[in-house]
Structure 1
Amino acid sequence: MAHWADSYLTVPYIDGGRDATAGLDCWGLVRDVLHQHFNLPLLKDFGGIHADDKANMTRAYRVVKNSFSPCAPSSGAIVAGFNGETLIHVGVVIENNGLKILHTSSKHGMSKCSVRQFNRLFLQVKYYAYNSK
């Protein structure tokens, strides 16, 4: 039986994308998955920030991080990859025959990987629970 996350694997990467039908970027994916599959309120849009604009991505992260609590990797957690204090990429942890990271990028498109594989991509990786209340 297919996992719900498999339906995302055909969604194209679009910089600033916020629609799972038209395409998503990494933040759009996190917003959509948490809202659609974990019944959480939509996170702030930040649609005008391009994926290559790491300075503004980091500023946007600082705006919303007060609604996050550090946690261990677990289903529904937001995963953030950093180079020093600079946010590079985000994804979401899912349970799919073990914990996996669902994420998307302009270079590779939508993909699932193990927590270990994702952790190797960045100098620092942080996991967060979204405190929607």
Structure 2
Amino acid sequence: MNHINDYLSVPYVDGGRDMAGLDCWGQPRLVLHNVFGKPLFKSFGHVRADDKANLTNAYSKLVDQFKPCQPKEQALACGFRGQSLIHMGLCVFMDGQLHILHTSRKKGPSIVKVADFKRLFFEVKFYEHTG
């Protein structure tokens, strides 16, 4: 799948890492690889969405493969509550504007404005892949 829109029909599946179903970690991972040609970063498919401690631990193990940046295409958008990573998305251009592609248990895959994504979290950090 080589287009952003291809990922809007993939259902949310907790721990999902392929086109049969993706979670908020699996979706940006595959889009970065399949659409933008980046190497696949570690999947951590065993980490479930409700396990924020292990999600944050997985993030801490990979953060050195990324560098902080401003919101821009291909940047990961990481939503935090306190020090805990609770959600991820990916910055993409749609209709000439920067948006966040993400997926969730309640709504499935969607594309939202960056400002709307930021309102969902205590803090949002953006990272570009350097690994």
Q: What is the TM-score of this pair, normalised by structure 1?
A: 0.94
Consecutive unaligned residues in structure 2, runs of 5 or more: none
Q: Identify the residue that residue 13 of structure 2 maps to in structure 1.
A: 14
* Structure 1 residue 62 corresponds to structure 2 residue 60: yes
SS state of the match for residue 65, structure 1?
A: helix
2: CA distance, partners of 1:35 / 1:55: 26
1: CA distance, partners of 2:116 / 2:98: 11
SS state of the match for residue 8, structure 1?
A: helix
Q: Identify the residue that residue 105 of structure 2 maps to in structure 1.
A: 106
Q: Identify the residue that residue 29 of structure 1 maps to in structure 2.
A: 27
1:56 positional shift: 0.3
Moved over 4 A (4+): none
1: CA distance, partners of 2:3 / 2:13: 21
RMSD: 1.1
* Structure 1 residue 127 corresponds to structure 2 residue 123: no
Q: Sequence identity, in percent?
A: 50
1:38 positional shift: 1.1
SS state of the match for residue 87, structure 2?
A: strand
Q: Deviation string for 1:104-133 (max 9, x for gaps)?
A: 01111000000000000000000000102x
* Structure 1 residue 82 corresponds to structure 2 residue 80: yes
SS state of the match for residue 118, structure 1?
A: helix
Q: What is the TM-score of this pair, normalised by structure 2?
A: 0.96
Number of aligned residue pairs:
129
SS state of the match for residue 75, structure 1?
A: coil
